[in-house]
Chain A
Amino acid sequence: QKEVEQNSGPLSVPEGAIASLNCTYSDRGSQSFFWYRQYSGKSPELIMFIYSNGDKEDGRFTAQLNKASQYVSLLIRDSQPSDSATYLCAVNNRDSNYQLIWGAGTKLIIKP
Chain B
Amino acid sequence: DARVTQTPRHKVTEMGQEVTMRCQPILGHNTVFWYRQTMMQGLELLAYFRNRAPLDDSGMPKDRFSAEMPDATLATLKIQPSEPRDSAVYFCASGLVRLSSGNTIYFGEGSWLTVV
Interface residues of A, Cβ cutoff 8 Å to B: 31-32, 34, 42-46, 49, 51, 88, 92-94, 97-100, 102, 104-105
Assembled-state Cα–Cα distance A51/B99 (Å): 12
- Structural contact, A97 and B50, CB atoms closer than 8 A: yes
Complex partner residue of A49 from B99, B104, B108, CB under 8 angstroms: B104
- Structural contact, B102 and A98, CB atoms closer than 8 A: yes
Assembled-state Cα–Cα distance A66/B59 (Å): 30
- Structural contact, A45 and B97, CB atoms closer than 8 A: no
Interface of B is mostly: strand
Query: Is the interface on chain B under 10, 10 to 19, 20 to 34, or 35 or more residues?
Result: 20 to 34
Assembled-state Cα–Cα distance A92/B107 (Å): 16
Assembled-state Cα–Cα distance A32/B103 (Å): 8
- Structural contact, A98 and B104, CB atoms closer than 8 A: no
Chain A residues closer than 8 Å to B33, beta-carbon distance: 100
- Structural contact, A100 and B103, CB atoms closer than 8 A: yes
Binds A, one of B14-22, B41-49, B66-74: B41-49
What is the CB-to-nearest-CB distance from B1 to chain A, in angstroms, rounded to a whole number?
13
What is the CB-to-nearest-CB distance from B50 to chain A, in angstroms, rounded to a whole number?
7
Determine whether B24 belongs to the interface, using a CB cutoff of 8 Å to chain A.
Answer: no
The answer to whether A98 and B31 touch (CB under 8 A), given A32-B102, A43-B108, A44-B107, is yes
Assembled-state Cα–Cα distance A38/B31 (Å): 21
Assembled-state Cα–Cα distance A97/B50 (Å): 9
- Structural contact, A98 and B103, CB atoms closer than 8 A: yes
The answer to whether A102 and B42 touch (CB under 8 A), given A97-B50, A97-B56, is yes
- By beta carbon, the residue of chain B nearest A97 is B55
